[in-house]
Amino acid sequence: MTKKLTELNSYVRHTLLTLMSVGIDCSGYLGRLGVTMAMLEQADDKVTQEQYNTLLDEVIGDYPNRGLGLLDGRGVSLLEHGLLGYAMFASENLSKALARHTRYQDVIGAALHTKLFISGGEAKLRVTDISRPELINTPAKLRYETERLLAQWAEIGPVFGASRHWFSRLMIAYPKPSYADLYEDILGPHISFDADYTEIVFDAELLDQPLSFANEAAAVLCEQQCDALLKQLQNTEGYVARVRRILAANPGGNLAITTVGKMLGNSERSLRRRLKEEGTTFKQVVLHFRMELAASYLRGDEMTIQEVAFTTRYSDPSNFHRAFQQYYGQTPAGFRARKSS
């Protein structure tokens, strides 16, 4: 699923500006993307979604434990999210804004899905699932995307007249990081780690709080365009993307083409034909997915090379070494060493 072009440029530019603001030299990243900062200010697309994902993987690998996700999410206004952002910005109240986000979050390619729950006078905006598991395949990437999302939600406070610390408490479903002070600076003081869910908790009465720039007629117009975009995304997703989505949802499963075909409502023969029309084969799609997954694991240090081989469904580590070297032109150990140097 691809973000709208202008939104994607905005996201890439914001990430690079964030890195520069903390003294990180981005010339290498810009060179590999083949763009300049000025080019990212143009309306047409300069970077693909895949390139942006690779950029984030590199940044996370190059600068771990820096809280860059929090910094990247800070200062992102609703309007940077395109039509959905405008629909939320113009909503009558916070309740309608959050309802629109829940319905149309795939329009902006949200990596994490959120949903609103109300119980006992409290509202909870909870991360319910990873919507794009093929992109969030390491603990470090999950933490980065979670941090960015939470920092972006904090920015909503001023839209209805509150501060950026507008929620009463914040629950986070992973261990406390070494830079927890940065969480408090950006997200507020009432934070609990190792929780059952990642969620923002706030007074349910805030849901009726009018937004500062409410214009429900304009919000409805934007909503109608979001509807059209959502249908377009659902109708244009190719079979390669659908197969990858199934593989990502079952990373440890050894799924045969017949099984995947049934999950997609196709016979094996039909699925082979569909993939051939897109210029590939089932075997190639699986190989690309496995190698990309392996590379993402090797950029971190949470898993040994043997564990990476097993996780990517290579029962024999020597077969994994051989496949990885043929694909990337270097051994898994060499790839990891280069990324950590």
pLDDT at 73: 94
Please tell me whether the overall predicted TM-score, pTM, comes out greater than 0.75 for this model: no
Start-to-end CA span in the chain (Å): 33
- Do both 301 and 210 map to the same domain? no
Per-residue pLDDT tens digits for 257-280: 998 888 778 899 999 998 988 888
Mean pLDDT of 314-323: 91
pLDDT at 1: 36
- Do both 167 and 101 map to the same domain? yes
Higher pLDDT, 181 or 136: 181
Higher pLDDT, 30 or 128: 30
pLDDT of 248 above 90:
no
- Do both 221 and 244 map to the same domain? no
- Do both 97 and 218 map to the same domain? yes
pLDDT at 113: 86
DSSP 265-303: T--HHHHHHHHHHTT--HHHHHHHHHHHHHHHHHTSSSS
Which pLDDT band holds residue 133 (cuts at 50, 70, 90)? Answer: low
- Do both 131 and 206 map to the same domain? yes
Residue 77 phi, psi dihedral angles, 5° rounding? -85, 165
Q: Helix, strand or coil for residue 161?
A: coil
Q: Could you tell me if 186 and 70 are in contact, meaning their C-beta atoms sit under 8 angstroms apart? A: yes
Q: Could you tell me if 18 and 96 are in contact, meaning their C-beta atoms sit under 8 angstroms apart? A: no
Last residue of a domain, one of 210, 235, 260: 235
- Do both 217 and 262 map to the same domain? no
Q: Say if 10 falls within a structural domain.
A: yes
- Do both 127 and 153 map to the same domain? yes
pLDDT at 2: 40
Mean pLDDT of 236-263: 77
Angle between helices 317-328 and 332-340 (to 10 degrees): 60
pLDDT at 295: 83
Share of the chain above pLDDT 90, in %: 41
Determine the Cα–Cα distance for residues 286 and 201; give it in Å rounded to an integer: 40
Q: Say if 70 falls within a structural domain.
A: no
- Do both 218 and 326 map to the same domain? no
- Do both 228 and 248 map to the same domain? no
Output the six-digit token pair for 121: 């006078």
- Do both 225 and 253 map to the same domain? no
DSSP letter, residue 68:
H
Q: Which domain holds residue 18?
A: 1-63
How many domains does the structure of the chain reveal?
3
pLDDT at 5: 39
What is the sign of the dihedral through the CA atoms of 245, 81, 49 and 335? negative
pLDDT of 150 above 90:
yes
pLDDT of 127 above 60:
yes
- The three-point CA angle 300-303-306 to 5° equals 125
